[in-house]
Amino acid sequence: MLCSIKELAGLPLAATDGDIGHATEAYFDDLRWVIRHLVVDTGGWLTGRKVLIAPQAIQGIDRARHRIEVALARGQIEAEPDIDTARPVSRQHEIAIYDHYGWPYWWQGDSMVDTTAHALAGMVLAPPSPGAGLPPGAAAQVEAESAQDDPHLRSSTEVVGYHVAARDGDIGHIADFLFDERTWAIAFAVVDTGHWLAGRQVLIEPRWIERIDWAGRKVWVQLTRAAVESSPRYRHGEPLQEEQFRKVQRHFESSE
């Protein structure tokens, strides 16, 4: 089932021994188009530490109770290294979090998610350090890179609102992202065509997104404005059926 990234914000986090804070946003990988972390405020709405929770710790989204259930105890979450959301996430910080929980590093094994088939894939155990098993020179380079910011990790709160640029001009802005709650792969960007079509929303698969311009606050797509304008309309809140997915896919494939 597809979920809205925007609707994650504010949902309380249910640990195995009680509630602990709420989700504020998601960090996603714009290379593989998968959610890597939920940002969780462990305190009240205006106080508390912020930590990152990876999808492998999430048991599911309980829509009836309006909460996110995780297979972690409150003490584990409280003891996690906190995150400064005003700064980019470094690989070094991710290593500290994954080591804290004993999780395998996602970047040193098979991807957790097959973003094409939207199916779970296996993960392999990571070596003890980023450069383990490599020649000294290569190991040093990998160790140095591990301390750098991850250039492909994006904040959902930041990217929602970015302008969308087609091949022949601007065509609205990013309104939301829809992800598969089983795999946490992003299936679609929701684009609000804004003044072009009086707020009409359409769905665009990540494969059509060429790049995200962080400095220019713009998302570039490999589509024409006409192709976006004539795409099937998306209505927020309506369940999407398989045939609707196929209709969107066929539309853009035929417009190439």
CB 11 within 8 A of CB 67: yes
Count of Cβ atoms closer than 10 Å to residue 243 Cβ? 8
C-alpha closest to that of 206 among 6, 21, 32: 32
Most confident range (mean pLDDT) of 104-113, 203-212, 233-242 is 203-212
Per-residue confidence band for 240, with pLDDT thresholds at 50, 70 and 90: confident
| Residue 196: predicted pLDDT | 54
| Residue 47: predicted pLDDT | 60
CATH topology of domain 160-254: SH3 type barrels. (2.30.30)
| The pLDDT of residue 28 is above 60 | yes
Task: Give the lowest-confidence range in 31-45, 145-159, 189-203.
Answer: 145-159
Domain with CATH 3.90.50.10 in the chain: 2-154
Task: Name the average pLDDT for the chain.
Answer: 81
Structurally, at CATH architecture level, domain 2-154 sits in Alpha-Beta Complex (3.90)
Domain with CATH 2.30.30.240 in the chain: 160-254
C-alpha closest to that of 114 among 184, 188, 189: 184
Task: Give the lowest-confidence range in 10-14, 65-69, 187-191, 249-253.
Answer: 249-253
| Residue 148: predicted pLDDT | 56
CB 108 within 8 A of CB 127: yes
